[in-house]
Chain A
Amino acid sequence: MQSVLDIKNLTVRFATADGEVAAVSDVSLSVGKGECLGIVGESGSGKSQTFMAAMGLLARNGRATGEVMFGYMNLLTAKEQTLNTVRGNKLAMIFQDPMTSLTPHMKVGRQLTEVLVRHCGLNAAAARTAAIEMLGRVRIPEAARRFDMYPHELSGGLRQRVMIAMALLCGPELIIADEPTTALDVTVQAQILALIRSTREEFNTSIILITHDLGVVAGLADRVAVMYAGRIVEIGDVDQIFNAPRHPYTKGLLACTPRLDDPATATLATIPGQPPNLQHLPRGCAYHPRCPYVMDRCRVESPKLLPTGAGQNACFLDDLDVRAAS
């Protein structure tokens, strides 16, 4: 499959008062044309920073190394000017809180048409028609009326629809959606997820879906990458990740998520301990203090992401399996 975005050995470091902190360490992944890749992780897993770095949107104290190929362009070395022509055009982003990503003092319509005029070279009248049409396509009722409203006059669900409409305006090849439904209620979340699903079929765009919610990923993604402490610990086909997870963290995450389709049990399975503190990461595998299968080797050596079965997994247990098989 032809890939749209190719990340190779991406490392993101932040300079803080207490020294340098690696938020993302040596991440490599690629997204195919029309594919939806889910990125799952908890806070501090580096799931957002990976793509903020890819988009050139890191905070000022951040520094990214490696390679992020979007088509034939390396986004990490591209000039700000070049990045601006790509961002919002071929590469669009949807954020968690649409209230902060829409300009509060500008009418929704203006913000939409501006994108069209700037990136697609439409004139004002044509941009208006196109924008209203797009609002209709993301199923905003009374699109023409909403066009002249300010962001704060819209509900959270409608704002997120506007963000999606804005992302779709220039026919992007890739949409990066960072927790697009986390700020929304369940019933609205279901609407937005259905919308993302149908736009994907309609426009054949690739989507990167960053979330902490396994349920959201299960319904939307083709492939899933699980991140922990700045690294990908497991990546694979969605069915494989959910039905036959290999990494102990993936297994733990699935086990401790309460679900509506299971019979309720007395106690939930848990992952012991606390989420990783990037400032004091343990030696070896970052997950080892919480891992039930921890071995001596895990405490000193960091496992590499290696192909296993249909996906890739970063765990020394795989070595044991291989040895047992031979």
Chain B
Amino acid sequence: MSALPLLQVRDLKVHFPVRGGGLFPTTIPLKAVDGVSFDLAPGETLGIVGESGCGKSTLGRAVLQLLPATAGAVAWFGEDLTKLDKHALKARRRDMQIVFQDPLASLDPRMTAGDIIAEPLRNYHPEFSSADRKARVAKMMEQVGLHPAMINRYPHEFSGGQCQRIGIARAMILGPKLVVCDEPVSALDVSIRAQVVNLLMDLQRATGVAMLFISHDLAVVRHISHRVMVLYLGRVMELADRDSLYRAPRHPYTQSLMSAVPIPDPAKERARTRALLTGDLPSPLYPPSGCVFRTRCPKATEICSDVVPPRESAGPQHEVACHHWRD
């Protein structure tokens, strides 16, 4: 890995003010992301997993400055993005893009596929002639597996998988250094999911783009990521190298997540004993004290409610935030 990381996120917090109830409502901070730190090297994929409400999508948007950070720093080649003005930010944005979950909703229904893919070009290269733009769009369409003959079609004329390819083409056309993929395959059919995952991996191999791959699907994340970060209620539970995390998850939350994923093999499913988590996610408005996972954790003891567990090293490239990971 190179010396200077592409992205250094330090103690990033994103809080949303929420109006409380009652006669004299006060605002309570909803801590969507609460003190997340990680590095991302060029050409690397960091998988971000967690259940709904864990703040993974908010984190992705805060990294891209699409949402304002409450505290902390997002350093892009050492330069803090949270301190940049609008103009400087626009220049940096050229290199960071996003792919969304809902393929159809992320495309303007009144624009053609060609216009959608060309939009970043219009914003950053207004000097290009329309013929030049069209040629680049056609080339990009081929690279994402869309036939250039479909350039004048509208989003509703494409299938979900094809729409997602258009979204990916729009994100890739400027040759970015980072793409945040926010659940890019969750809304797709099983048979299309694998196509899109392979496409993203091929594009990464060809262009060296780094990715933040946000997903709730542990199997897909394992497939595409180099490293994986597990979030729970806005905090990092575990951050490790892909193989080390899936071979030996240290955090009780990661362990229960893995055992909850169903395996398409009836014999294995029958033989499996599950460590079922009890209860539901606590409200992020009132997170538990100490370790946020303690209310559902099978290993929780007294210390967990008093002290926030620090991130400890549990081996090379493996960090875990739990008081009891050694047990």
Contact between chain A and chain B defined by CB under 8 Å: yes
Hey, which bits of chain A sit against chain B, CB under 8 A?
Answer: 42-43, 141, 155-158, 185-191, 193-194, 212-219, 221, 238-239, 242-243, 252-254, 256-261, 264, 267-272, 274-275, 277, 290
Closest 6 CB pairs of A and B: A215-B262, A219-B269, A190-B260, A185-B51, A256-B194, A214-B264
Question: Would A258 and B194 be within 8 Å (CB), given that A190-B274, A264-B223, A268-B223 are in contact?
Answer: yes
Interface locus among B13-21, B34-42, B73-81, B276-284: B276-284
B266 with A242: CB separation less than 8 A:
yes
Q: How far apart sit A183 and B285, CA to CA, in the bound complex (Å)?
A: 22
Known contacts A218-B265, A254-B264, A274-B161; 18 further A-B pairs (Cβ under 8 A):
A42-B190, A155-B280, A187-B256, A187-B276, A188-B51, A189-B260, A189-B262, A215-B262, A219-B262, A242-B266, A258-B223, A259-B263, A264-B222, A270-B191, A270-B194, A274-B159, A275-B161, A277-B159
Of residues 35 to 54 in B, which have CB atoms within 8 Å of A's CB atoms? 51-52
- The answer to the question of B30 belonging to the interface, with a C-beta cut-off of 8 Å to chain A, is no
Question: Shortest Cβ distance from B271 into chain A, in angstroms?
Answer: 11
Contact pick for A274, options B192, B259, B267, B272, CB 8 Å: B192
Chain B residues bordering chain A, tally (CB within 8 A): 48
A258 with B267: CB separation less than 8 A:
no
* Prevailing SS type, chain B contact patch: helix
A191 with B219: CB separation less than 8 A:
no
Q: Which residues of B sit under 8 angstroms from A221, Cβ to Cβ?
A: 266
Question: Would A185 and B52 be within 8 Å (CB), given that A155-B281, A214-B190 are in contact?
Answer: yes
Q: How far apart sit A256 and B198, CA to CA, in the bound complex (Å)?
A: 11
Q: Which residues of B sit under 8 angstroms from A270, Cβ to Cβ?
A: 191, 194-195, 198
11 A-B pairs (CB sep. < 8 Å): A42-B191, A155-B281, A188-B280, A194-B274, A218-B264, A239-B266, A260-B218, A270-B198, A271-B195, A272-B195, A274-B192
Q: How far apart sit A187 and B270, CA to CA, in the bound complex (Å)?
A: 18
Of residues 141 to 184 in B, which have CB atoms within 8 Å of A's CB atoms? 159-162
B277 with A260: CB separation less than 8 A:
no
- The answer to the question of B110 belonging to the interface, with a C-beta cut-off of 8 Å to chain A, is no
Contact pick for B265, options A242, A277, A290, CB 8 Å: A242
Contact with A along B77-97 (1 / 0, CB 8 A): 000000000000000000000
Q: How far apart sit A224 and B107, CA to CA, in the bound complex (Å)?
A: 37
Q: Which residues of A sit under 8 angstroms from B223, Cβ to Cβ?
A: 258, 264, 268
Q: Please count the residue pairs between chain A and chain B whose beta carbons lie under 8 angstroms apart in the complex.
A: 143
B198 with A268: CB separation less than 8 A:
yes
A260 with B198: CB separation less than 8 A:
no
- The answer to the question of B300 belonging to the interface, with a C-beta cut-off of 8 Å to chain A, is no
Contact pick for A218, options B257, B258, B262, B280, CB 8 Å: B262
B258 with A253: CB separation less than 8 A:
no
Of residues 216 to 273 in B, which have CB atoms within 8 Å of A's CB atoms? 216-220, 222-223, 242, 246, 256-270, 272
Q: How far apart sit A194 and B278, CA to CA, in the bound complex (Å)?
A: 12
Q: How far apart sit A260 and B219, CA to CA, in the bound complex (Å)?
A: 5
Q: Which residues of A sit under 8 angstroms from B259, Cβ to Cβ?
A: 190
Interface centre among A187, A213, A221, A243 (most CB of B within 10 A): A187
- The answer to the question of B201 belonging to the interface, with a C-beta cut-off of 8 Å to chain A, is yes
Question: Residue of A at shortest CB range from B275?
Answer: A190
Q: How far apart sit A213 and B67, CA to CA, in the bound complex (Å)?
A: 33
Q: Which residues of B sit under 8 angstroms from A217, Cβ to Cβ?
A: 264
Q: How far apart sit A277 and B262, CA to CA, in the bound complex (Å)?
A: 29
Question: Shortest Cβ distance from A213 into chain B, in angstroms?
Answer: 7
Q: How far apart sit A25 and B315, CA to CA, in the bound complex (Å)?
A: 56
Contact pick for B264, options A189, A242, A268, CB 8 Å: A242
Contact pick for B258, options A214, A216, A254, A260, CB 8 Å: A260
B264 with A259: CB separation less than 8 A:
yes
B263 with A256: CB separation less than 8 A:
no
Contact pick for B276, options A190, A214, A216, CB 8 Å: A190
Question: Residue of B at shortest CB range from A258?
Answer: B219
Contact pick for A260, options B193, B222, B280, CB 8 Å: B222
Contact pick for A43, options B51, B189, B278, B279, CB 8 Å: B189
B256 with A42: CB separation less than 8 A:
no
Question: Shortest Cβ distance from A294 into chain B, in angstroms?
Answer: 16
Question: Residue of B at shortest CB range from A254?
Answer: B264
Question: Residue of A at shortest CB range from B54?
Answer: A185
Q: Which residues of B sit under 8 angstroms from A214, Cβ to Cβ?
A: 190, 264
Q: How far apart sit A259 and B223, CA to CA, in the bound complex (Å)?
A: 9
B266 with A238: CB separation less than 8 A:
yes
A260 with B201: CB separation less than 8 A:
no
Question: Shortest Cβ distance from B102 into chain A, in angstroms?
Answer: 14
- The answer to the question of B197 belonging to the interface, with a C-beta cut-off of 8 Å to chain A, is yes
Question: Shortest Cβ distance from B106 into chain A, in angstroms?
Answer: 18
Q: How far apart sit A219 and B261, CA to CA, in the bound complex (Å)?
A: 11
Q: Which residues of B sit under 8 angstroms from A272, Cβ to Cβ?
A: 195
Q: How far apart sit A159 and B201, CA to CA, in the bound complex (Å)?
A: 38
A261 with B194: CB separation less than 8 A:
no
Q: Which residues of B sit under 8 angstroms from A269, Cβ to Cβ?
A: 194
Q: Which residues of A sit under 8 angstroms from B256, Cβ to Cβ?
A: 187
A186 with B281: CB separation less than 8 A:
no
Q: How far apart sit A239 and B266, CA to CA, in the bound complex (Å)?
A: 6
Q: Which residues of A sit under 8 angstroms from B261, Cβ to Cβ?
A: 186, 215, 260
Q: Which residues of A sit under 8 angstroms from B195, Cβ to Cβ?
A: 270-272
Question: Shortest Cβ distance from B184 into chain A, in angstroms?
Answer: 14
Q: Which residues of A sit under 8 angstroms from B272, Cβ to Cβ?
A: 219
Question: Would A253 and B281 be within 8 Å (CB), given that A218-B266, A275-B159 are in contact?
Answer: no
Question: Shortest Cβ distance from B109 into chain A, in angstroms?
Answer: 18
A267 with B201: CB separation less than 8 A:
yes
Question: Shortest Cβ distance from A285 into chain B, in angstroms?
Answer: 16
Q: Which residues of B sit under 8 angstroms from A277, Cβ to Cβ?
A: 159
A158 with B218: CB separation less than 8 A:
no
